[in-house]
Amino acid sequence: MRGKIIRGVGGFYYIHPESAAADVLIECKAKGIFRNRNIKPLVGDNVEFEMLDEQAGTGNITEILPRRNALIRPASANVDQAVVVFALSFPKPNLNLLDRFLLMMQTQDIPVIICFNKSDDQEEEETKRIVSQYRDCGARVLVTSTINGTGMEELRELLEGRTTVMAGPSGVGKSSVMNILFPEAQMETGEISRKIKRGRHTTRHTELFCIGSQTYIMDTPGFTSLRLPELEKEELRNYYPEFAEPSQECRFLGCVHINEPDCGVKNALERQEISRDRYDNYKQFYEELRQQKKY
């Protein structure tokens, strides 16, 4: 039988069998062969498993099918994309945190959809100003509101048939977005919790929810800070697609666009063709990576 690991805790893996109802889960152990081969099953892994006890819903994982990708943060396999929710106001978007998130995903080759939420609570001009800074950042940008439904249909379509990591700082309305998109998921979440007797105080683990045919979302805890991914400081500029064109005018090959004279990126910044916030964050990250290297 085939299925997908949707949760792993304490040596048990919970498998959602292929084409089973969303709330069917089989509690499996991974057989010793994986330990010998030094493979650890990940949430999101597609696996083959055998049933041990039909009644109790227990089984054994016998094979991990080839992975399309494996993420370190959050630890998971076969993720198609990430949706990161930020509020346009209340709280005011922390763009430094957003840029860190983009780097974290871009360095792992995961496409990102930025969801600027609570558009009903922000002036149109200010919304445009914030959105325009991310026009050329390599991520798709959506403006949404759970109050008047702006952007919700578009977001729903982007999630269909894919496995998506849902992320965002606390208080940005991520849960409201998810509840509007998938009202049935909320119920299933409770269902799942009861089945595996998750205590209120246990640590939260990475977990997938099946919300439709071949459609999974992975909710992640709200974050307040993010470490930069492990990068050489000289590599950082490669993750700024908006630097690519202007950097062709840089006088020096290998220009990192900070202190060099005749820098195309800094010229573009002067002409306001590149976002000042994005550039300032870039400079800060560059310095952070430089400091890290020292120790």
Q: Which residues bind Zn ion (CB under 5 A)?
A: 250, 255, 257, 263, 265
Alpha-carbon dihedral sign for residues 220, 226, 227, 229: positive
Beta carbon nearer to Zn ion, 123 or 234: 234
- Which tokens is 254 given? 């290998």
Beta carbon nearer to Zn ion, 80 or 260: 260
CA–CA gap between residue 233 and residue 288 (Å, rounded): 9
- Which tokens is 138 given? 């390599």
Q: Is 109 exposed, middle or buried, given 0-12, 13-18 or 19+ CB atoms closer than 10 A? A: exposed
Beta carbon nearer to Zn ion, 166 or 255: 255
Question: Cβ of residue 153: shortest distance to Zn ion, in angstroms?
Answer: 41
Question: Residue type at 124?
Answer: E
Beta-carbon count within 10 A of 243 CB: 25
Question: Cβ of residue 267: shortest distance to Zn ion, in angstroms?
Answer: 8
- Which tokens is 213 given? 């045919």
Question: Cβ of residue 105: shortest distance to Zn ion, in angstroms?
Answer: 25
Contact 22, 35 (CB under 8 A): no
Closest CA to 78 of 167, 207, 164, 204: 164
Question: Cβ of residue 265: shortest distance to Zn ion, in angstroms?
Answer: 4
Beta carbon nearer to Zn ion, 233 or 257: 257
Beta carbon nearer to Zn ion, 155 or 250: 250
Question: Cβ of residue 259: shortest distance to Zn ion, in angstroms?
Answer: 10
